Structure 1
Amino acid sequence: MRKVLLLTIGAFIYSYSFSQFVDDITKNAWFVPYGTARSVSVGGAIGALGGDITSSSVNPAGLGFYKTSEFVISPSFLMNNNKSDYRGSVLDNIKKSTFQLGTTGVVIGGKMSRPGRSSAFSISINQLASYNNKVSYSGLNDYSSYSEQYLEQLVADNANIQSASNDYPFGSSLAFFTYLIDSISGPSGSLEGYRSLVPVGNGNSVQQQYDETTGGGIYEISFGFASNHNDKLMLGASINVPLSFYTQDITYTETDPANNANNDFAYSTFTQNHTLNGIGLNARFGLIYRPEQSLRLGLAIHTPSFMSYTDKLKAAITTDTEGYAGVQTSKSSDFSNAVGETRYNEITPYKIVASAAYVFKEVENVKLQKGFITADVEYVNHRGSRFLQQADDNGYYNDATDDYYRSLNEVIKSYYKGALNFRLGGEIKFSPYAIRLGAAYYGSPYDDKQLKANRIMAAGGLGYRNHGFFIDLTIAAIFNKDVNFPYRLSDKANTFAELKNQRLNVLLTAGFKF
């Protein structure tokens, strides 16, 4: 299926950094969170259920169910399998696997001095998202070329030859030095414009190949506290320090499928290495109320995360224009003005989580409980993400940079929307064993209905608890549907790949009470 989409995202869309920031919204806020094996096995629906160290990341009031202390560790193994559809060409069986360390930490629980009161405090390291993945797609395109984004940039800036040669060390200048694009001279030798040497359109096609490997994830150091008031009302809060680590390697190639040695184009390859490190701060507040012994109702509010990022970038282009200029290579490191490092801030979306759980044979001794059903509904305001500039080393802000981020934030508001996420799970207990099943659905963050996207998780697990020791094993299958743009243009419809990702996550959580 051939897919094109017209995206009006402003005059800056041809800029690498601009489009990259737009894509970063889904990376930083649209993911299926991890947790302990127990929490994942019930679809992550622990907002009202509580009694799990992962509560500090969902509804910290759930820590209020702790009357004793415990330590947990959660190693996991993640397997990725990807399928892509780009302009009618399908690639399947693209795999990547990795070992990871999930939620690990300690909960200190105990009674307070006042009768009927208890409290709990937790310190944990939680993995919220994994970026480990590999994406590939290819196809014939008779409609556009990635070289056109560089033409748009030079034309929009009314760039002269000197500017085209030096001012765009991560994009247009690389294309210009390798003759992927070249100047057009008038009769008097004056500059009349620029052109691409890629023969596309008018019956000509170009073979496009995109390969991307990503790594890293979002981790969080969480400090949670909750109080229990007569086992009727639990109040909790957590202060969290999210840590973001991201690596991305892209290789994008366009080749002449006709192998015509006389059309001044054989191939062009763009490579990019992108690393991102960030640290931030957020808070979560929650309550759980038990209107009757077996029923638990929960509500939690997640504040936006205030993130500070350091973004590093390297890029290169190699182009073979055959008899026109031969093989030429240009790298961002060749330019004295290519700093390659950007520092900026981001405010991520807020979340609201409403939850309910019903426990069969609800008694204080969890060994005697027979099971539960639990559900969460979560709202995420994706269009509320905002990017802000950081002051320079002298404490000054740049007006042009402010305008840039202001335009970017307007794009985000029009490109994304708020989304609802649903989580559902249950447990049947045959003490000391337990069987668990769960599922989750994460709605599309994109405002345009042509961008078909969602995330679905199905999970199942087993648990064993006896004499203060517990071990849980969970297998979770995550089905992701998303889109990927190899490049974006502002003057015509954009072509994109439809991606289907299947993740199999095997989690093991072990712990003991003390």
Structure 2
Amino acid sequence: MKKLIFVFTAIISMSAEAQNITDAVRYSGTDLNGTARYRAMSGAFGALGGDLSSLNVNPAGSAIFLNSSATLSLNVENSSNEVSFMNSFNSNSNSNTDLGQAGAVFVFNNFDENADWKKFSLGFNYNKSSSYENDFLAFGTNTRSINNYFLEFAQGIPVDLLEVDLTRNQTIAGVYADLGEREGFAAQQAFLGYQGYLYDYEPDNASSPFAPYTSNVATGSFDQEYAYAATGLNGKFSFNFATQYQDFLYLGLNLNTHFINYERMTSFFEVNDNTGSEINEILFEDRLSTLGSGFSLQLGALAKVGENVRAGIAYESPTWYTISEETTQYLKTYSLELGEAIVDPNVVNIYPDYKLQTPAGYTGSLAYLFGTSALLSFDYTYKDYSTTKFKPTDDPAFRSQNELISNELKGASTFRVGGEYRIENWSLRGGYRFEESPYSNGFTVGDLEGYSAGLGYNFGNIKIDLAYDHSSRENNPQLYQTGLTDRFRNSRENSNYVLSLSFGL
């Protein structure tokens, strides 16, 4: 069994690598998810309402329902990655089926014809916010070694902390665990590299760029493979209240609870035959398990502006998350002269919970209704990702990450356009969306572009809707945040097929 280690005193030193800007962006973003009608129109529902997933944009939308209704949506996601690294190319594809949405709205009419408040509605809805299902492989020939990752963490770490004293009955697991409890993440990484014979301690060797540690991996070329595999999702449960004032104004409120379930495993393998290199192969595995829960609220208003024009405005508060994480690590090295060295602490690091505050969102919407036969809708949303914060903000490592977030992230706009045309009981739909990159450089994570289409049939008390949406985005992430910071390009495409069943209650 793996040994469980609760890392308390070392939270400052470990958080610089374990919680970083990449995590902040991952948990702050949302995908296009929901009912088939909503997705077929690319989510442009802020001024329309009358759909359970429209509550994700504007909570006033539930007061548009004429009758109580429920909707269930199943989603099939197909994704593909085209990865290039150091002039090498690889591609793969994945598929996943899940419950994308489920909910109901209950409408309570006021039968007093002279009353200003015509009705109110109560809604309950589950919506998947983001999918973390993904895996890919990047490989190529580099001039920098994964050894740089461990060497950078070793700087400033006394060598006596990295040694295992067999005369005192110390073990790899015991020292690794003790370092995690007393010194933190950086010391654990330095320990892995030292015990894997990636470097030696030579205090008099001032010529080494990593003095007093000197690398046992000679310079030259390195054949490298980086494998990434992740599962999980970010989901949201919403309790909705909305009301209609006279015949032109609708107001709504959402109280949302969020959850994160994210599992990630990275594996890095490197081979070299460089002259003078004492280490010829390195395999480094790192596993992360993340669970989180959060809360947010939304306010919205929807108004009839003339006979055919609808307008909406909505505010979504930050989501305040509490997140817990666990990690395990494994290192194996091989020397043509000395053979194999395995550093397997068999330890689960359990870190203290931390807080994450995601950015608030502001949405403005317009829609034009061509009688009862057609409509055209437009949404604009703005989020300032530079306001994302790790908490407590007085933690030195979190302060450093928050400064990085403030400098490297920016405000990002999202544009969504959707239309619907009705032919008797049939409805034909289409949409387009564009999401700006949250990064100031527009390079680490690129802009997203997507389009959608769908159709539906109204049987009366039952409605069936189908949708297809496609999106593409190019990312250029770093292999690691420290040491080996080379980037690879990942062009990712997502195609989704959605089936929704709606029925009156």
- Alignment of 1:173 with 2:191, yes or no, is yes
> Aligned pairs, how many?
469
Per mean C-alpha deviation after superposition, the further-off stretch among 166-175 and 427-436 is: 166-175
Post-superposition offset of 1:265:
2.4
Structure 1 residues 456-484: Cα deviation after superposition (integer angstroms, max 9, x where no partner): 22111110112211010111112121122
Aligned counterpart in structure 1 of residue 106 of structure 2, from 105, 108, 126: 108
Structure 1 residues 265-314: Cα deviation after superposition (integer angstroms, max 9, x where no partner): 22111111111111111000011111112111111110001101111111
Structure 1, unaligned runs of 5 or more: 1-11, 362-368, 391-398
Q: Given residue 264 of structure 1, which amino acid in structure 2 is its aligned partner? A: E
Residues 421-500 of structure 1 correspond to what in structure 2 (within 5 A)? 421-451=414-444, 453-489=446-482, 494-500=485-491
Post-superposition offset of 1:138:
1.1
Post-superposition offset of 1:139:
1.3
Find the counterpart in structure 2 of residue 71 from structure 1.
Answer: 70
Find the counterpart in structure 1 of residue 363 from structure 2.
Answer: 353
Residues 115-134 of structure 1 correspond to what in structure 2 (within 5 A)? 115=113, 117-134=118-135
Post-superposition offset of 1:451:
3.3
Q: Given residue 252 of structure 2, which amino acid in structure 1 is its aligned partner? A: G
Contact kept in structure 1, 2:437 and 2:447, CA below 8 Å: yes
Find the counterpart in structure 1 of residue 147 from structure 2.
Answer: 147
Q: Given residue 380 of structure 2, which amino acid in structure 1 is its aligned partner? A: V
| Distance in 2 between residues matched to 1:308 and 1:451, nearest whole Å | 26
Find the counterpart in structure 1 of residue 503 from structure 2.
Answer: 512
Post-superposition offset of 1:112:
2.5
| Distance in 1 between residues matched to 2:401 and 2:112, nearest whole Å | 53
Post-superposition offset of 1:322:
2.8
SS in structure 2 opposite 1:38?
helix
Structure 1 residues 226-271: Cα deviation after superposition (integer angstroms, max 9, x where no partner): 1112231111110000111101011111111xx4586322211111
Contact kept in structure 1, 2:13 and 2:397, CA below 8 Å: no
Report percent identity of matched pairs.
24
- Alignment of 1:333 with 2:352, yes or no, is no
- Alignment of 1:252 with 2:268, yes or no, is yes
Find the counterpart in structure 2 of residue 265 from structure 1.
Answer: 279
Structure 1 residues 373-432: Cα deviation after superposition (integer angstroms, max 9, x where no partner): 111111111111111149xxxxxxxx7xx1221122111111211111111110111121
Residues 7-86 of structure 1 correspond to what in structure 2 (within 5 A)? 17-18=16-17, 20-86=19-85
Q: 1:64 to 1:406 in 2, by over 3 A?
A: same
- TM normalised by structure 2 equals 0.88
- Alignment of 1:387 with 2:390, yes or no, is yes
Find the counterpart in structure 2 of residue 394 from structure 1.
Answer: none
Contact kept in structure 2, 1:312 and 1:342, CA below 8 Å: no
Q: Given residue 218 of structure 2, which amino acid in structure 1 is its aligned partner? A: P
| Distance in 1 between residues matched to 2:478 and 2:112, nearest whole Å | 59
Post-superposition offset of 1:17:
4.8
Q: 1:483 to 1:464 in 2, by over 3 A?
A: same
| Distance in 1 between residues matched to 2:345 and 2:450, nearest whole Å | 41
Post-superposition offset of 1:32:
2.2
Contact kept in structure 2, 1:73 and 1:104, CA below 8 Å: yes
| Distance in 2 between residues matched to 1:133 and 1:498, nearest whole Å | 15
Find the counterpart in structure 1 of residue 244 from structure 2.
Answer: 228
Q: Given residue 193 of structure 1, which amino acid in structure 2 is its aligned partner? A: P
Q: 1:452 to 1:75 in 2, by over 3 A?
A: closer
- TM normalised by structure 1 equals 0.86
Q: 1:332 to 1:300 in 2, by over 3 A?
A: farther
Q: 1:170 to 1:272 in 2, by over 3 A?
A: farther
Q: 1:164 to 1:431 in 2, by over 3 A?
A: farther
CA RMSD of aligned residues (A): 2.4
Post-superposition offset of 1:163:
2.6
Find the counterpart in structure 2 of residue 503 from structure 1.
Answer: 494
Contact kept in structure 1, 2:15 and 2:398, CA below 8 Å: no
Post-superposition offset of 1:38:
0.5
Contact kept in structure 1, 2:290 and 2:325, CA below 8 Å: yes
| Distance in 2 between residues matched to 1:360 and 1:195, nearest whole Å | 74
Structure 2, unaligned runs of 5 or more: 1-10, 164-174, 180-185
Contact kept in structure 2, 1:343 and 1:389, CA below 8 Å: no
Q: 1:16 to 1:110 in 2, by over 3 A?
A: closer
Q: 1:332 to 1:410 in 2, by over 3 A?
A: farther
| Distance in 2 between residues matched to 1:72 and 1:17, nearest whole Å | 43
- Alignment of 1:343 with 2:342, yes or no, is no
| Distance in 2 between residues matched to 1:294 and 1:44, nearest whole Å | 20
Q: Given residue 196 of structure 1, which amino acid in structure 2 is its aligned partner? A: S
Find the counterpart in structure 2 of residue 4 from structure 1.
Answer: none
Post-superposition offset of 1:169:
6.3
Find the counterpart in structure 2 of residue 278 from structure 1.
Answer: 292
SS in structure 1 opposite 2:20?
helix
Contact kept in structure 1, 2:48 and 2:310, CA below 8 Å: yes
| Distance in 1 between residues matched to 2:345 and 2:22, nearest whole Å | 22
Post-superposition offset of 1:122:
0.5
Post-superposition offset of 1:69:
0.4
| Distance in 1 between residues matched to 2:501 and 2:316, nearest whole Å | 28
Q: 1:277 to 1:114 in 2, by over 3 A?
A: farther
| Distance in 1 between residues matched to 2:16 and 2:32, nearest whole Å | 27
